[in-house]
Structure 1
Amino acid sequence: MSTTHESLRERKKRLLRQQLSDTATRMFTERGFDAVRVIEVAEACGVSDKTVFNYFPAKEALVLDRLEGTIVSLRSGLTDPQVPPLDATLRVLDVELTAMTAMLTSQDDPAEAIAQMRRFGDLIHQTPSLRAYQSDMMEQFVTVAAEILAARARMSPDEPEPQIAARALLGLWHVQAASLRRHLDGSRTPAQVHDAVAADVRRAARVIQPALNAIPMREVPIMRQGSVQS
């Protein structure tokens, strides 16, 4: 029997997870992260606070829940020995950017959706615990990337080459985030935002490409961890 289709239980869990994240983000944006308790989010969704923590390991994860999925996507992309690491990273970034701009386009009022996204960015920047959580997740990015790049180059993950390469790839996320904040100014359509941000990311990629090309990546099979299987 095929297991590729989402079961009713899986669908309910996915929808509840999305509801919890969306509700929390709205409440945090309206009132401030520290002013809202997890139990309030739970009550707004008709569940217990224990249920919330069954889905999210920390209050901060309610806001930054997509970072975990990004790490899984990055691991999956970098472990393909046929794809250069920079190309794999750019693909993950573009998928995220495309999904974000598609979401904006689908809204009844794209301009208001863009304004909400700016408020979301402000929430993260103005909340120390969210910035710290985001920083911790970014360090996981570096660890994952360094381990895979080291395996492809037959090096140790703590050697200089995979370490600097991993941080260079991570830097592209910072470029994309900064570009989004700059271009989500209300004067551009979602499609224009996508094109402008994608162009900025590729400009940055061209800067680091020569250094990444200097690291010998061998086309050797990499054993994927079970956690990345879909």
Structure 2
Amino acid sequence: MDETTGAAGTAGAADGLRERKKRQTYERLSETAIALFLERGFEKVSVAEIAAAADVSKPTLFRYFPAKEDLVLHRFADHEDEAARVVAGAGAGAGAPLEALHRHFADGLARRDPVTGLNDDPRVLAFHGLLYGTPSLVARAYAYQGRSEAVLASALTGASARARRPGGPVVAAPVVAARLAAGQIVAVQRVLAEENWRRIAAGESADGVYPDAVAAAELGFGQLRDGLTFLSPTN
């Protein structure tokens, strides 16, 4: 190993360590805040109290989370581009993006992924109760949803080009068509998750809701499939 390679390797390791520590700090701050919110209520916990409990200064906390609401919504950060990643990994056939998204959601239901709303773990229910029961958190969640729609729209534009008939012209879907499609897809997933959570919050079990959740997902994605014709090959 020469000196250049050794220096590059050391720098890379240092960068990796910094990134891991940064992620750990994000997680620690978020989990500390959520625990306090669940105990006392979102509005009754100050940012100063969160910083003190996490043993950091307020300026440090705000460097990681610009808004108090982001401490809660951080749990969704990894899901912002999830639908876009599913679409990017889908095949090039007609309807492949929607089929892949449907499968992904169905798999989430089977795993009782909290993102699908089909999870009756008391801790998950408490978190969802905090989220849906706090108007400022609901409002902030729409900003996350908007970013999800944006990256999904970009992925759908690429998917529409891949779906064109072999040998035909590669023409991406109009921007407005991709944005409309992304909005509809994200809305369907949100409504399905909210309906699952509503029933479980009312006392039903995840296992009991599961068959209806699967049927509702088939209905929702079926409506998307019938309406989003721009993802199919041109005639």
Aligned pairs for 1:79-94 within 5 A: 79-80=88-89, 82=91, 84-90=96-102, 93=105
Q: Following the alignment from structure 1 to structure 2, what is the Cα–Cα distance between the partners of residues 191 and 20? A: 33
Note if contact 1:75-1:144 (Cα within 8 Å) is conserved in structure 2. yes
Aligned with residue 130 of structure 1, among 133, 137, 156: 137
Between the two proteins, the alignment pairs up a number of residues equal to 202
Q: Following the alignment from structure 1 to structure 2, what is the Cα–Cα distance between the partners of residues 31 and 81? A: 44
Residue 79 of structure 2 is matched in structure 1 by 70
The one-letter code sitting in structure 2 at the alignment partner of 1:205 is F
RMSD: 3.2
Stretches of structure 2 lacking an aligned partner (at least 5 in a row): 1-8, 161-171
Shift of 1:162: 2.0
Which of 76-85 and 52-61 deviates more? 76-85
Residue 107 of structure 1 is matched in structure 2 by none
The TM-score normalised by the length of structure 2 is: 0.70
Q: 1:7 to 1:91 in 2, by over 3 A?
A: farther
Aligned with residue 150 of structure 1, among 154, 157, 160: 157
Shift of 1:8: 4.9
Deviations 1:208-228 (A, max 9, x none): 22223x22457xxxxxxxxxx
The one-letter code sitting in structure 2 at the alignment partner of 1:38 is V
Q: Following the alignment from structure 2 to structure 1, what is the Cα–Cα distance between the partners of residues 45 and 108? A: 28
Q: Following the alignment from structure 1 to structure 2, what is the Cα–Cα distance between the partners of residues 95 and 52? A: 36
Note if contact 1:71-1:141 (Cα within 8 Å) is conserved in structure 2. yes
Q: Percent identity?
A: 29
The TM-score normalised by the length of structure 1 is: 0.71
Note if contact 1:149-1:157 (Cα within 8 Å) is conserved in structure 2. no
Aligned pairs for 1:79-228 within 5 A: 79-80=88-89, 82=91, 84-90=96-102, 93=105, 98=111, 100=113, 113-114=121-122, 116-153=123-160, 154-158=172-176, 161-174=177-190, 175-188=192-205, 197-212=213-228, 214-216=229-231
Q: Following the alignment from structure 1 to structure 2, what is the Cα–Cα distance between the partners of residues 171 and 71? A: 14
Which of the two has higher C-alpha Rg? Answer: 2
